[in-house]
Chain A
Amino acid sequence: NAGVTQTPKFRILKIGQSMTLQCTQDMNHNYMYWYRQDPGMGLKLIYYSVGAGITDKGEVPNGYNVSRSTTEDFPLRLELAAPSQTSVYFCASSYSSRPGSGELFFGEGSRLTVL
């Protein structure tokens, strides 16, 4: 039962470096999401996708990019890392059988530190 798999689980970056957080799901879900969670705070939506080839900005998209070439994969790219991007990143997927329904299935999270 793999569910949603995120890699890496931990990463330390230097300011200005770039990296990609990988996310893959094996549940054939159309909807995928990337969130960031700063210490003691809620989850902020970075980007989301309603299907392969379709992506859209969330609440805090600046400094990030995504792509969705397949149903399974939804990588998040950080360009020119900044200390403000130090956070825990969660990838999640969902189905939806009717409007507004479908809970999120979360990955375990990726802890990123930018120094």
Chain B
Amino acid sequence: AQKITQTQPGMFVQEKEAVTLDCTYDTSDPSYGLFWYKQPSSGEMIFLIYQGSYDQQNATEGRYSLNFQKARKSANLVISASQLGDSAMYFCAMREGGSDDKIIFGKGTRLHILP
């Protein structure tokens, strides 16, 4: 069954440091995608980064990168040089590529950037 796990309910990080947010997943579908979203206190959902299961290289988008370890079924988000504006909830999500096309989310990690 499709499953996403985020084990860090909250994290505190000093500004300008790098931070890694953990995400593990489970699926029997060989074709799937992994996504990270940011939800600031204002409530909107912001797409950050995507990794396909067949992609050879780890995805990067500006200060965001995805540490994809397929054998371990993990897709950790790395934010380099954190900024105060990075304080938010972060959600990992998975989309299976079969006929199902369900997209499910983890419980999220609340990130606090300290000045």
- List residues of A whose CB falls within 8 A of some B CB: 31, 33, 35, 41-45, 48, 50, 56, 58-59, 88, 90, 92, 94, 96, 98-106, 108-109
Contacts and interface: CB of A to CB of B under 8 A. Distances in A.
Interface string B43-73: 1110100101100000000000000000000
Interface of B: 6, 29, 31-33, 35, 37, 43-45, 47, 50, 52-53, 91, 93, 95-108
Contacts of A90: 45
Nearest to B53: A100
B31 A43 contact: no
Contacts, number: 74
Contact of B105 (A43, A88, A101, A109): A43
5 contacts: A41-B108, A42-B106, A45-B104, A100-B96, A103-B47
B43 A109 contact: yes
Given A42-B105, A42-B108, A101-B52, A106 B96 contact: no
A103 B99 CA distance: 17
Contact of B97 (A48, A50, A94, A99): A99
B53 A104 contact: no
Nearest to B104: A45
Given A42-B91, A100-B53, A106-B45, 14 more contacts: A58-B102, A88-B43, A92-B45, A99-B98, A100-B31, A100-B52, A100-B97, A101-B33, A101-B95, A101-B97, A104-B35, A104-B47, A106-B44, A109-B44
Contacts of A96: 95, 101
